[in-house]
């Protein structure tokens, strides 16, 4: 299904993978945030929703791919479908395509997700792996990141993700993160951002949303000069409130 907002000079094509299955905690809000923050700058967007009912799959002209989170059961269904497109997705990432993957989607970008009685093969885009742990890691989380300042969200995962030599998205100031012990959260690889943060992530962290949009616009339009500022007063206040509440002055 396509959804287009036109009449603009610059436009991004955003693909939402399996919104029918990977849609926990309002992850769809990330798509709305990308779309509206483009529109508020006079840019257009085309949203392509690829669901289980869709046969064709093409990343042609796609600028940003979004994968949300889901239960282990839903993840298994999605993964069996996505493995058919492993090569295209890997090439997309290697060629600088932007991917945002949240929780279950994050785990699927790795080599595998090992559950108690079976192992789900991943897309092997990131050199990481996930193993099911003891208790679920649930709660608010605050990160310090390099390119988006303090990032806030909500995590709920049974899996522990081991990222090897990959660069994390941020240092955990409050919460659990990738594996409870390393003190880091998520992965940044080329233009791929993978994270456990739900919430949805982007409306809570507009600076991260603009980072993704800027990366995608620069890649598509070499003359792109940067996004004009918009009034983020409310968003920034909400972000600061969560940082203050959970992480104090840390
Ligand atoms: N099923 C995965 C886990 O529990 C991911 C859950 C999610 O996307 N919130 O680790």
The CB-side HSE value for 211 (13 A sphere, CA atoms) comes to: 21
pLDDT band at 248 (very low <50, low <70, confident <90, very high): confident
pLDDT band at 55 (very low <50, low <70, confident <90, very high): confident
198 tagged catalytic: yes
**Cα separation of 250 and 136, whole Å?**
25
166 tagged catalytic: no
Ligand 1 atom with minimal separation from the 68 CA: 8
Distance 6 CA to ligand 1 centre (A): 35
Please say if the pLDDT value at position 26 is more than 70: yes
Distance 236 CA to ligand 1 centre (A): 28
Distance 122 CA to ligand 1 centre (A): 14
**Cα separation of 86 and 234, whole Å?**
40
| Proportion of the chain above pLDDT 90, given as a percent | 91
Is 138's C-beta closer than 6 angstroms to any atom of ligand 1?
A: no
Catalytic residue among 43, 79, 98, 103: 103
> Mean pLDDT, to the nearest integer, of 21-36?
94
Is 4's C-beta closer than 6 angstroms to any atom of ligand 1?
A: no
Close Cβ partners of 117 (under 8 Å, ≥ 6 residues apart): none
**All domains of the chain in start order, with CATH:** 11-246 (3.40.50.880)
Is 95's C-beta closer than 6 angstroms to any atom of ligand 1?
A: no
- Per-residue pLDDT at 4: 61
Cα-Cα-Cα-Cα torsion 196, 20, 81, 69, nearest 10 degrees, comes to: 10
Residue 13 has phi, psi (to 5 degrees) of -100, 120
**Cα separation of 150 and 205, whole Å?**
8
Distance 100 CA to ligand 1 centre (A): 16
Please say if the pLDDT value at position 234 is more than 60: yes
Strand blocks (E) in 26-149: 44-50, 64-67, 98-102, 112-114, 119-121, 129-145
Measure CA 150 to chain center: 16
Q: Bridge-partner residues for 12, per DSSP?
A: 45
Q: What is the pTM of this model?
A: 0.95
CB atoms < 10 A from the CB of 65, how many? 23
Q: What is the mean pLDDT of the chain?
A: 95
Please say if the pLDDT value at position 3 is more than 90: no
């Amino acid at each position: 299904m396509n959804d287009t907002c036109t009449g603009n000079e610059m436009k991004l094509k955003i693909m939402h993978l399996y919104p029918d299955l990977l849609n926990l905690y309002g992850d769809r809000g990330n798509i709305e945030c990308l779309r509206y923050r483009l529109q508020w700058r006079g840019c257009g967007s085309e949203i392509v929703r690829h669901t289980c009912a869709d046969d064709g799959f093409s990343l042609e002209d796609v600028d940003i791919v979004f994968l949300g989170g889901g239960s282990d059961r839903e993840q298994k269904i999605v993964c069996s479908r996505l493995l058919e497109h492993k090569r295209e997705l890997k090439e997309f990432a290697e060629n600088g395509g932007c991917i945002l993957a949240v929780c279950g989607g994050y785990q699927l970008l790795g080599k595998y997700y090992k559950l108690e009685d079976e192992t789900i093969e991943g897309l092997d885009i990131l050199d990481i792996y996930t193993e099911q742990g003891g208790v679920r890691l649930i709660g608010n989380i605050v990160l310090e990141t390099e390119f988006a300042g303090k990032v806030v969200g909500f995590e709920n995962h049974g899996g522990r993700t081991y990222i090897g030599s990959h660069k994390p998205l941020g240092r955990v100031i409050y919460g659990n993160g990738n594996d409870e012990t390393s003190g880091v959260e998520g992965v940044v690889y080329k233009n791929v951002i993978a994270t456990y943060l739900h919430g949805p992530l982007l409306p809570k962290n507009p600076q991260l949303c603009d980072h993704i949009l800027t990366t995608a616009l620069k890649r598509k339009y070499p003359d792109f000069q940067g996004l004009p500022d918009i009034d983020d007063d409310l968003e920034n206040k909400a972000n600061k409130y969560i940082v203050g509440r959970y992480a104090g002055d840390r």
